[in-house]
């Protein structure tokens, strides 16, 4: 994150410098005599556009390098049939808008989604799960069934909000009863899990606090029937022998 923030500030500084140079040379062009004005205007145009062209060229180069690195990572995981290929594949899909899943990748993605277990939910980030929901827009019935099955295992309220926008991809599958049943089962399971999580977090929560939370040893406020000296006395008795 620190490196990314530094790069962002470098890009902002480059654009500000370009704008400052444009203003300075623009005023010089307006104040210059006729024959110098044309020269300064040409120089101003080239000098002002150069940082912008450099900025976009560097951005595209970094994006292509990042895409290539992710593609190599995906191919490595896919070759070993590693479950981590699921997250890498979703990242590659989400960060590369001009890249489409090949038939081979769709089949591998479907098989990995079917194998996903509830305890493996941490393998997918929130962004990757969002990409998973977006893949429902593809016209692929078996892949959609696998996505619903995976979200039923590891989905949460974040994906629930996206899934409830059913009209956005309902036309893709039409009247496919199997897909609609899988959708309803997925939504119902996530809703039940979310409700259970909310109720579970409130089981030990008191309705009101009469004591300070940092008071670990609270004083007795009522009279105790037993003698205080006998409370910690060991039991005096004989052990029965066989």
Residue-wise pLDDT tens digits, 32-84: 555 655 666 666 666 666 666 666 666 666 655 555 566 666 666 666 667 77
Residue 201 has pLDDT above 80, yes or no: no
Over the stretch 168-182, which tens digit does the pLDDT of each residue have?
Answer: 555 555 667 888 888
Over the stretch 138-152, which tens digit does the pLDDT of each residue have?
Answer: 777 888 899 999 999
For Cα atoms 113, 119, 120, give the angle at the middle one, nearest 5 degrees.
45
Tokens linked to 166: 């059913």
Share in percent of the chain as helix, strand, coil (round to 5)? 70, 0, 30
CA 198/CA 151 separation, integer angstroms = 19
Task: Give domain limits for the chain.
Answer: 1-67
CA 186/CA 184 separation, integer angstroms = 5
């Amino acid at each position: 994150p620190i490196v990314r923030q530094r790069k962002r500030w470098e890009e902002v500084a480059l654009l500000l410098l370009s704008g400052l140079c444009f203003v300075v040379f623009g005023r010089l062009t307006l104040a210059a005599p006729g024959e110098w004005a044309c020269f300064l205007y040409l120089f101003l145009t080239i000098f002002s556009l150069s940082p912008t062209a450099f900025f976009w060229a560097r951005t595209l180069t970094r994006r292509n390098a990042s895409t290539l690195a992710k593609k190599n990572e995906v191919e490595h995981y896919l070759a070993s049939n590693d479950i981590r290929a699921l997250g890498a594949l979703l990242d590659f899909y989400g960060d590369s808008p001009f890249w489409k899943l090949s038939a081979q990748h769709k089949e591998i993605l479907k098989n990995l989604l079917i194998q996903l277990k509830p305890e493996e939910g941490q393998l997918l980030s929130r962004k990757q799960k969002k990409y998973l929901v977006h893949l429902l827009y593809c016209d692929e019935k078996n892949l959609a069934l696998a996505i619903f099955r995976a979200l039923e295992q590891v989905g949460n309220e974040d994906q629930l909000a996206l899934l409830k926008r059913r009209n956005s991809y309902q036309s893709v599958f039409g009247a496919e009863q199997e897909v609609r049943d899988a959708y309803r089962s997925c939504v119902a399971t996530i809703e039940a899990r979310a409700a259970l999580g909310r109720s579970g977090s409130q089981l030990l929560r008191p309705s009101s606090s009469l004591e300070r939370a940092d008071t670990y040893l609270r004083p007795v406020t009522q009279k105790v029937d037993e003698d205080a000296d006998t409370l910690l006395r060991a039991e005096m008795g004989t052990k029965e022998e066989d």
